[in-house]
Amino acid sequence: MNLEEDILIQNYLTQSLSEKEKKDFVKRLNTDTSFKEKFTLEEEMFKSLNKEEWSFIEKKNHAEVKEYETIFENEETKEIKKILKKENEKYQKKQNKKSTKKRSYYIAAALVALVFSLYNIINTKESTQNIVASYLNETELPSIIERGEKQNELAKAQKLFENKEYSKALLIFEKEIQNPKNPKAVIYLYTGVSQMQINKLEEANKTFQKLIESELLDAPKGKWYKALVYIKMNKIKEAKEILNTIIKSKTYNFKKAKQLLKELD
């Protein structure tokens, strides 16, 4: 298999050939056994490893899309892809059937390793997500509405939040949080948790950081929730650093921070 043929297969797989070239390509597949064998092998690799095969996710707007993209870029997955790439380069220098069988074995083994790697990564992510959900449920947010205060937009937002209509509630919270008059830590908390629940994690991180940097009495609570955000983002190292800070200073939820830290180890 020469370089020209290899490029031809690549162009076919990436749909870069003209209509006439495609017809010629298909005709050769039907008449050239060794060429078809090579194409089949390259096609399997392309489907397994080429990121363009993931293009369908661009049509979706779900949190799992970002998770799959993260998994695809995971260091373990990249290492396995490197193995396959090296085996592909070896194949280019060999053309006999014995070499083809050996190469097929390596690819099969590497793909099995890839599947197990992705399985372990997904399971780990599901585990951390369950941890976050559990601690969010255990951490009860105080009411926004103070005694004697009239029903207003915040009361409506709290009701939406309690009904798990986080996106609608967030529209009110984010507007209210911009109001410089009588700032409340609880609004930051509701805003950040709402953002977490709809997977606006970067925004949630910023919200809790603003609370931490504020001079409000409940500012330390921001650290606890920021740690949960980091766990949800699968940034375990950063989460552990914050949890250790909470434990050392014995601030809000430091006992739970100890428990959570053990669960992450």
Alpha-carbon span 118 to 110, nearest angstrom: 12
Over 80: is that where the pLDDT of 194 sits?
A: yes
pLDDT in tens, 26-43: 999 999 888 888 888 777
Q: Mean pLDDT lowest for which of 44-53, 60-69, 146-155, 247-256?
A: 60-69
- φ, ψ for residue 17 (rounded to 5)? -90, 155
Highest mean pLDDT among 3-7, 63-67, 103-107: 3-7
- φ, ψ for residue 126 (rounded to 5)? -65, -40
pLDDT at 64: 47
3-state secondary structure (DSSP) of residue 173: helix
Alpha-carbon span 172 to 167, nearest angstrom: 9
Over 80: is that where the pLDDT of 119 sits?
A: no
The CA distances from residue 47 to 26, 104, 253, in Å, are 18, 15, 47
pLDDT in tens, 198-214: 989 999 999 999 999 98
Over 70: is that where the pLDDT of 159 sits?
A: yes
pLDDT at 110: 58
Over 50: is that where the pLDDT of 61 sits?
A: no
Over 90: is that where the pLDDT of 225 sits?
A: yes
> What average pLDDT score do residues 43-60 get?
52
Long-range CB pairs of 159-162 (<8 Å, 24+ gap) are 161/190, 161/193, 161/194
pLDDT at 72: 52
pLDDT at 101: 53
Alpha-carbon span 63 to 198, nearest angstrom: 8
The fraction of the chain above a pLDDT of 70, given in percent, is: 62
pLDDT at 104: 56
